[in-house]
Structure 1
Amino acid sequence: MAIRGEQRPMMHFDFQVGDLDSAVAEAVALGATVAEFQPQESVRVLLA
């Protein structure tokens, strides 16, 4: 539960996939959002 003025708990996951574009499309279909900043060509940051 979020408390006003306090940061919400966060988690970070790394997944290795064979097809990056398909994995991103599936995650987006399930409700994820592609982050504006992408640190590397072979990595995608998504927010859930």
Structure 2
Amino acid sequence: MIQTIVLGSCVSVQGSFVARRPDGRIVVRVGDRLYTGKPVNKAA
């Protein structure tokens, strides 16, 4: 599943879902790298 996360105020990353952290953040994989951030709210 593709997931979009926010890393900072202006930076977002879209990648393959890897895991959900206990604090609500999500880990996604982009190539060989893993990124952790807050999930983007789904559009209505």
**Normalized against structure 2, the TM-score is what?**
0.29
- Structure with bigger gyration radius: 1
**Normalized against structure 1, the TM-score is what?**
0.28
> Greater relative contact order (Cα 8 A, min sep 6): structure 1 or 2?
2
Name whichever structure is richer in strand by fraction.
2
